[in-house]
Chains A and B, each alone.
Chain A
Amino acid sequence: MLRAYVILFLAFLYAPILLLPVFAFNDGTVIAFPLDGFTTKWFAELWTNDELHAALMNSLFVAGTSSVLAVLLGLAAARANIRYRFPAKAAAMGLIMLPLVLPEIIVGVSLLVVAVRMLGLDLSLWTVVAAHVLICTPFAIAILNASFQSLDPSLEEAAIDLGCSRAETFRLITLPLVMPGIVAALLISFTISLDEFIIAFFLTGSDPTLPVYIWSLLRFPRLIPVVMALGTILMIVSIGILVLAEWNRRRGLARTGAKDSGGFL
């Protein structure tokens, strides 16, 4: 009974996603069975689309910048959270983590109002970066919290005791030991930003990110198989990055002999 339930549940989760590659290789513009034959022409069409390339570069820029910023903020917040006690810490951390569960459409609309109406900013990739930092930072903190949690505070004290300054201690001891967490946080923030649509849709100006561009393609039925092909590639890249992040985290644990206190995945 339980087994049947699990199988149904997994099918519900993954069957639609598995249809993506099926139609990406289907030689026909109508998304329906029966299939019309095998082709790679949709992928070839991706290759020659300049607008798509521009959107991809925009997304890589946004994802790269916002993941680095989110991880830098996350490092500071996670270290403070684990090492220090300060007033209203739980409340402060709770508020920082809130964007994890806040509906993205609310974040998108309110940021749009603030950016355009109140700050008078022009929408650009930078407004998207700012918003993506907001939603990626909680993920970065969650991962880095675990890294700092498993870091024995005596290690930093021992380094100072053996003659290191605070800066040297961070560089020689703290940083190498939380590096797997940093890499994992970077990869996951990057993936989240790369896939994010709603907020980017509100805040992007004349330069669309990849998901926004994909959405605009959906207006042309002829191009739907192209979207399927693009989706297939994005799915593989996303899964690849997440696997890389988890592999890196486990390797870090094995290298330092630390106990696995539950990773992000």
Chain B
Amino acid sequence: MTDAPLIRLRGLQKYYGDYHALRGIDLDIERGEFFSLLGPSGCGKTTLLRVIAGFEDVSEGTVVLAGEEMTRVAPNKRPTNMVFQSYAIFPHLSVGQNVGFGLRKRRDLTADAKDGLIAEALAMVGLDGYADRAAHALSGGQRQRVALARALVLKPKVLLLDEPLSALDKKMREHMQVELIRLQRQVGITFILVTHDQEEALVMSDRIAVMFEGGVAQIAEAEDLYRRPNSRRVAEFIGTMNFLPATVTGDRVSVPGLGEVPLAAVQATATTDGETVVGFRPETATLLFDGQADTDHVASGHVAEVVYYGDMTYYDVALSGTEATVRLSMRNVFGRPVLEIGAAARVAWSPGALVLFR
């Protein structure tokens, strides 16, 4: 049984009256994985998390946790714990009482042993010595840590995180992302994170499931998802991508504005003759500056827009002979000038970075 996935979801359907919230979810999540459910609001990711936790019943399908069918089992009988979006810190209890709340029922532990576990959990999240503080006096980031400690002290098989960082400011959020990754490696517990922030999902996850309208559109490792999105919709949701119309004829694909390349050279999810779309990420193409020689694949055009970010500059380049504009992101190397709007531009691109969509 050790080879079976820790979480096995099969054919999950969920209706709220007429609203179809989950449309046939099949998902396997492995032991020790950091797994993210990513999607826009209303895509069903939080519903799915709450189904795994046991807070929502499914209309159809099965939930198997650690080899046991648990579809109808109450949340307090499941090997999962949850970190809520609002953190749900009990305001009338101290930090220590909050963290020890789930240990209350453990008759096998002495009070001293429980205090030890509480102190250990608080140390793990960087809140040593906070046990006697009043919970309601904590800052947002500290509440977040208490919520984590409170769940992790129970050593659950699965930790469920419902948009845990969305209430924090940008700096704190980035800090906590790294902190969460470190924690997950340290405790080795399976983490399932719900987020609408694609960057957060890419930074933190081993694997990501992208969800739209109650269904899973793609499940892949972060790098795979970014490089080889399986649909235009996923590509649009994850990062930025340039899309250009293209035509497939036999074993060649022609992209007006860029040129023609063998079909075998591009990344293709499906190959049928006819009109289609190709995409590439802004950083996979570069502007050639004065003195730089042409490479194998160079398109020409002019700069239509410049957005300066300090370390980076984004250029929108209107390609010659088409109405298409593509966005390029260029690192600002010291001593190199920033091009101005209207300047002629040569764009070096790679066929291997093109993704062909159905």
> B84: nearest residue on chain A (CB-CB)?
A154
Segment 115-159 of B: residues with Cβ below 8 Å from A: 134, 136-137, 150-151, 154
Comparing A10-18, A91-99, A254-262, the segment that makes contact with chain B is A254-262
Q: Which residues on A sit within 8 Å (CB–CB) of B82?
A: 157-158, 161
Q: Is residue B237 within 8 Å, beta carbon to beta carbon, of the partner chain?
A: no
The complex places the Cα of A214 from the Cα of B150 at a distance, in Å, of 59
Complex CA–CA separation, A165 to B76 (angstroms): 7
Minimum C-beta distance from B261 to chain A (A): 53
Number of residues of chain B lying within 8 A (CB) of chain A: 26
Q: B91 contacts A257, CB within 8 Å? A: yes
Nearest chain B CB to A226's CB is how many angstroms away?
A: 47
User: Quick check: B136 and A162 within 8 Å, CB to CB?
Assistant: no
Question: CB distance B76 to A158 under 8 Å?
Answer: no
| Interface size of A as a range | 10 to 19
CA–CA, A161 to B101, complex, Å? 11
A162 with B154: CB separation less than 8 A: yes
Contacts of B151 in A (CB 8 A): 161-162
| CA of A259 to CA of B86, assembled, Å | 15
B343 to chain A, nearest CB (A): 54
Q: Give the residues in chain B near A165, CB-CB below 8 Å.
A: 76
Whether the Cβ atoms of A163 and B91 lie closer than 8 Å is: no
Q: Assess whether A176 is interfacial by the CB under 8 Å rule.
A: yes
Contact of B91 among A157, A162, A256 (CB under 8 A): A256
- Which of A158, A163, A256, A258 touches B88 (beta carbons < 8 Å)? A158
User: What is the bound-complex CA distance between A154 and B164, given in angstroms?
Assistant: 13
On whether the beta carbons of A177 and B101 are closer than 8 Å, the reply is no
- Shortest Cβ distance from A157 into chain B, in angstroms? 6
The residues of A that contact B88 with a CB separation of less than 8 Å are 152, 154-155, 157-158
Encoded as 1 (CB less than 8 Å from any A CB) or 0, chain B from 61 to 101 comes to: 00000000000001110001110111110111000000001
**Does A235 interact with chain B (Cβ within 8 Å)?**
no
- When chains A and B are docked, how far (Å) is the Cα of A232 from the Cα of B55? 55
How many pairs of residues, A versus B, come closer than 8 Å at their CB atoms? 61
Residues A157 and B101 in contact in the complex (CB < 8 Å), given A164-B76, A255-B92, A257-B91:
no
Residues of B near A173 (CB, < 8 A) are 90
CB distance from B164 to the nearest CB of A (A): 12
**A115 close to chain B: CB less than 8 A:** no
154-204 of chain A: CB within 8 A of chain B: 154-155, 157-165, 173, 176-177
Complex interface: chain A residues within 8 A of B7 (CB): none
Contact with B along A230-265 (1 / 0, CB 8 A): 000000000000000000000000011110000000
Q: 19 new A-B pairs (CB below 8 Å) besides A158-B90, A162-B151, A257-B136? A: A152-B86, A152-B88, A154-B85, A154-B87, A154-B88, A155-B90, A157-B84, A159-B90, A161-B76, A161-B82, A161-B151, A162-B102, A162-B150, A163-B105, A165-B76, A176-B92, A256-B136, A257-B137, A258-B136
B248: chain A residues within 8 A (beta carbon): none
> Known interface pairs A154-B84, A154-B85. Does A160 touch B75 (Cβ–Cβ under 8 Å)?
yes
- For A158, list chain B residues within 8 Å (CB): 82, 84, 88, 90
Contact of B81 among A162, A164, A177 (CB under 8 A): A162
